[in-house]
Structure 1
């Protein structure tokens, strides 16, 4: 796909292609959580949670994977598809490939969450393990691709993936207006590889919605890259937000540079505390990566810029190892 298609119009075209194949996930609110991000002497804010934890495969990744597969020809699909992923894109591609009747080869880092490994296998993916770094993932993927002839569908650094992920914000904008009679003023999006953030930034063009990024301080390559004016190509981290352990993609970075207003980072303790709050107040299960946007809007750094009004938060997924819940919650105390 030509990069010129990376626009709001491109996101709209992607949505028309996949809207009957993906779930229209709910948008939830919480008065108690919204009240926590409002200072006593300032205007109120309402938070709108776009719950992609209810998407097929448990994460927004199904949107991009479905769009990427739908854009391939039968000849391109004949040897199957391949990717590398810590879990959410892995599961998404396995589901999308199975629906299309083709093989999915999945390279996963050895430290991936066990439920994501089991889910990927359960959805029909043929799983191979690599080291945890992006370079190790890519090397293993290249080797298997050479052996199988499978078509590579990267987890985030791909135009069709970006456009598919951007449909998340298209839905959110329409749902807030149709269901609540309001318009968003801003949206906060988690950033790892940057496919979701870049896609949402494109979808926001011409709407007046301000776009902000949320990133773990322990994996802050996007924050550092924006500050330095050039992409940081590597990130070595064991952040609890395992879906955000990858460096921002080459295609994604200039989109983020151009359209994202600011990148905010939060600590591991802030992430876990925000995740716990969502569990307790909203009664839904989200993974740590999903809680990073809420951690941002609850921080003093966010309050200092004075963004108020109707704020969308992208809840990116809900795939979490249930065996880790006790230790995770204890770490926030």
Structure 2
């Protein structure tokens, strides 16, 4: 059965923010960002905890007032049209907020009734969403009986009960094992193909690369870069990265000392506590030249550049710091 998810009038401008700010007392969590999200795309906010991603999402969800700048959601002002906006969007929060006293089906049904959807229509949508979330066989199970991945799938299904045009997902796969993450990715692909515009916050680089058509890299409340994953990698990194790991305290020296010995072999060298990163267009050639200089790392790896490398270049620290 095909789940029909999108309803409402068609418009290409889903989100428009200019100089958007959010302050909490004397702390400015979002410091004047510009964002535009087009209908039908998957747009990401990539950054570490504390970058301002969740604060931005709460403003977009029309549940937290802006502190400055301009914000339009679905062509409306959240300051005056909050209820109308919330009726047309779906929100999947970072933490599951399911009702543990209800079974799986009733979690969907009661949430649908909050939107004033007629009982018959809600029942039909619940059946569709249970199938979509692969939870039909768990319809009468209590929430406590579900695995972490099942709870996340139920939370996403619940956010779709009003057939939103725009779905906000705040760290949708945090805490899940790799298999459960990939199941959720498949669900999000299906939503995008069904016409739902996705806005995703994440600190997982592979998730952003897999899911997002475009994204912004946020750090300390500002946008450091914007583009597609491929565009960002091309603009801010090299084709390949050679990773070198040495025994701590070895005669080769500290990562910083080793970096000075091989700095001329790569476009850029990053010395991290546990490894050395050499940015180059030919990782194998760099490794061969490292060995020619008498250096013997205990482990080596040549890989393609990722968004993790982009973030390291832009901010000077790892995405998971």
The TM-score by the shorter chain falls in which range?
under 0.3
> Larger strand proportion, structure 1 or 2?
2
Between structure 1 and structure 2, the one with the greater Rg is 2
> Larger helix proportion, structure 1 or 2?
1
> When the two structures are superposed, what TM-score results if normalisation uses the length of structure 1?
0.24
> When the two structures are superposed, what TM-score results if normalisation uses the length of structure 2?
0.25
